[in-house]
Amino acid sequence: MQSMEAGSQGDLDAFDRHVGADGKVEPQDWMPAAYAKTLVRQISQHAHSEIIGMQPEGNWISRAPSLRRKVILMAKVQDEAGHGLYLYSAAETLGVSRDELEQQLLDGTAKYSSIFNYPTLTWADVGAIGWLVDGAAIVNQIPICRCSYGPYARAMVRICKEESFHQRQGFELMMALSKGTDAQKRMAQDALNRWWWPSVMMFGPPDGESVHSMQNMAWRIKLFSNDELRQKFIDMTVKQAEALGLTIPDPDLRFDEASGHWQVGEIDWDEFWSVVKGHGPCNRQRLAHRRDAHEAGAWVREAAVAFAAKERARSARKAA
Ligand code: FAQ
């Protein structure tokens, strides 16, 4: 594959100039091996997150409180599966197979977003995920629609449209609960209390500890740093919580007149790293469930391959 060929210093300089000037890179173009490697890393982690991310909300499909809510939730969870598939396809353009990436997820050697290792204890968690987690995902992902790698950027356009819808449905669900009975309002507040900090952490480690940010911003894979995006999310969400009549669970939250931004209290980075390293409340459960689903779906994959082979043979006979 072209991208794996070593390039000269001149090739590297030309590549850096091209992406630095907002040029796009396509699969057939020459690219530094490290650029391809970090893209496969980020895109596959993103794909795995979408697939594992189906589980927390999927947990509530059979218990949704009305037919309308059930239909919406089923469509949302199905959308996340679609996002995973676009992203695996984008990663495949870099010469890695979907099977290989899936195997890394099943082996437990691949990362996926920390956020999906928290449990969904009540129905309000479905609203909190749509509002906060999809909200954070949009803030992080809208800039990726303009990233330097063409297939990733194009996949993100559709994903972001769907994520925007997801965020609105989560906010609407939270609004219904906040305007409901006292018990419903308490449920909404409890969900915010549990999902706020994990959502703030979703943007990744603080800039000083982010190993990939500097190079990936130079290559325009990331257009903003983790802290810049986190701040954008906080500023946006504080106002939304106000509109819902809910309280952000942070006694140190304050508006900083000088910078014009909301400042949060200390983030528990030990908790973040513990979850990333596999010790969150649901890491084991999420992987075990994915492995079971993969095994249970083997017959579907085998049937699809057999059917495709039969169809190929039929068209070959027709063409002969
Ligand atoms: N969780 O140097 P950085 C969604 C790792 S999709 C776990 O800052 P980078 C949709 C990082 O991988 C959510 N690990 O890394 C949905 C690296 O480890 P490595 C996923 C994390 O790549 C909604 C190390 O820490 N979104 O929500 C996390 O420059 C509702 C050092 O970090 C994306 O993947 C974390 N939170 O920045 C679905 C978006 N943060 O690889 C269902 C695309 C960092 O060296 C329901 N990805 N790490 O072993 C990105 O924008 C970036 O990859 C970041 C991390 C910002 C996630």
Which atom of ligand 1 is nearest the CA belonging to 50?
A: 38
What pLDDT was estimated at residue 1? Answer: 36
**Which residue's alpha carbon is at the smallest distance from atom 8 of ligand 1?**
210
Written as six digits, the tokens of 225 are: 């740093």
What distance separates the 2 farthest-apart alpha carbons in the chain? Answer: 76
User: Distance, CA 110 to ligand 1 centroid (Å)?
Assistant: 11
Contact 204, 170 (CB under 8 A): no
Give the separation between CA 103 and CA 110, rounded to whole angstroms.
Answer: 9
Q: Write the single-letter amino acid at 301.
A: R
Written as six digits, the tokens of 204 are: 């990744």
Q: Within 13 Å, how many C-alpha atoms sit on residue 8's CB side?
A: 3
Which atom of ligand 1 is nearest the CA belonging to 141?
A: 39
Sign of CA dihedral 83, 48, 190, 140: negative
H-type helices in 179-278, by residue range? 182-201, 213-218, 226-244, 269-274
First to last CA, the chain: 33
**Which residue's alpha carbon is at the smallest distance from atom 11 of ligand 1?**
204
CB distance 50 to ligand 1 below 6 Å: yes
User: Distance, CA 182 to ligand 1 centroid (Å)?
Assistant: 36
For the chain, strand residue ranges (E) read 254-256, 261-263
Give the separation between CA 86 and CA 143, rounded to whole angstroms.
Answer: 17
| Residue to probe by mutation, ligand 1, list 38, 39, 42, most atoms within 8 Å of CB | 42
CB distance 93 to ligand 1 below 6 Å: no
pTM: 0.95
Which residues make Cβ contacts (< 8 Å) with residue 278, sequence separation at least 6? 108, 284
CB distance 191 to ligand 1 below 6 Å: no
77: part of which helix (H) or strand (E)? helix 67-92
User: Distance, CA 131 to ligand 1 centroid (Å)?
Assistant: 19
Give the separation between CA 292 and CA 261, rounded to whole angstroms.
Answer: 45
Task: Return per-residue pLDDT of the chain as tens, 320 residues.
Answer: 344 467 788 889 999 999 999 999 999 999 999 999 999 999 999 999 999 999 999 999 999 999 999 999 999 999 999 999 999 999 999 999 999 999 999 999 999 999 999 999 999 999 999 999 999 999 999 999 999 999 999 999 999 999 999 999 999 999 999 999 999 999 999 999 999 999 999 999 999 999 999 999 999 999 999 999 999 999 999 999 999 999 999 999 999 999 999 999 999 999 999 999 999 999 999 999 999 999 999 999 999 999 999 999 999 999 98
CB distance 168 to ligand 1 below 6 Å: no
CB distance 44 to ligand 1 below 6 Å: no
CB distance 111 to ligand 1 below 6 Å: yes
Q: Write the single-letter amino acid at 89.
A: S
